Amino acid sequence: MAVREGTLERFWCVKQIDIFRDLSESDANALERITTFKQLKYGDTISTEGVYLLKEGRVKIYETPPEGEDVTLEVLESGEMFGAVEWDENEASRKVTAETLTEAVIGIISAKNFQFFLKRKMHLAAPFKRPLHQRIRCAINAVICRLKVSETSKPKLTSGKTTEAINLLHTDPKSRGGMTNPFSNIAFRSPASRLALLLQNYADAPNQNRKIVGHGAQCTLRKLSTKKIAQLIGCAVENTEALFNQFKAYKVLEKRYRRIRILDPWQLKKIANARMVSLPPETVKNQENTETYEQNEPLLAARPTDGR
């Protein structure tokens, strides 16, 4: 399987969050001071370099191929965010556009100001933990709902308010502790770079099982579900699963259930360092192509000959 050069991305986006709900009051106030809100109409395009907070409406990011119909890459909902990097339309090999699907209200922040904001707010991490007062309110509502149910001879758990309160208390991932990922490791990165950096940092943590091999230390990571990893890198679950399939196709790692075995730490590091570059599409190995992985040209950079 021949491995081609990675693809430069124009937009990055963070899903599975609500930036306007999940921030604490002090963080929200600091973010508001550097944000300018703008009303957009249906079909308006967004191309200027910067960071965009989607307060109301929906936005899609799509690619227009030389032939055929447009291909939707992402659809963003209220509360999610995305960014655009500097892009030369004359030199770009792809035509990628962000466009509103409805009327929308978007907060606009310059890339420089948002980077400075993240440096001052190093505690921000995904998945966001909802502010304490919101979590307390949800817990109280859940207790009240349970008391009402216990007083009823025939409890009905299908009412909208009751189901919502109980689900918020027990299934909302934002209310749970555990592993988090600094937001500075998510913003201004392609999904492939985020995933590689997350796995690299997790593998470098203490108490990981390692085995020294030719180009680095192989290790096995346990208890990492695809759903949890998707939350940690701010991507949809199906997109995260597709990323894992690409990593497996290039023999960067193996994944089975909640166990991930990193096969090529050097290549993983290269993908992590290529901040706005995505993996090239997988190619199907045919009978004429009998090259092995070691014979192929590398994924994003040349493999060193000294074994480092």
Q: How confident is the model at residue 252 (pLDDT cuts 50, 70, 90)?
A: very high
Q: Looking at residue 267, what is its pLDDT? A: 93
Q: Does the pLDDT of residue 33 top 80, yes or no?
A: yes
Are 160 and 206 found together in one domain?
no
- Tell me the pLDDT tens digit for each residue of 112-154: 999 999 999 999 998 866 554 555 555 566 666 666 656 554 5
State the total domains in the chain.
3
- Rounded CA separation 257/226 (Å): 9
Are residues 102 and 147 both part of a single domain?
Answer: no
Q: Does 303 have pLDDT greater than 70?
A: no
Contact (CB, 8 A) for 256 and 270: no
> In terms of domains, do 92 and 139 share one?
no
How does residue 170 score in pLDDT terms, banded at 50, 70 and 90?
A: very low
pLDDT of residue 79: 94
- Residue 150 has what pLDDT? 61
* Cα–Cα dist 302/308, whole Å: 12
Taking the mean position of all CA atoms in its chain, how far away is CA 66? 28
CATH of residue 259:
1.10.10.10
Instruction: Return the closest-CA partner of residue 24 out of 174, 189, 178.
Output: 174
Is 121 in the same domain as 139?
A: no
Range of the domain at 21: 7-125
In this predicted structure, the answer to whether residue 70 has a pLDDT above a threshold of 60 is: yes
The closest of 13, 120, 26 to 77, measured between CA atoms, is: 13
Which positions ≥6 away from 56 have C-beta within 8 Å? 78, 103, 104, 105
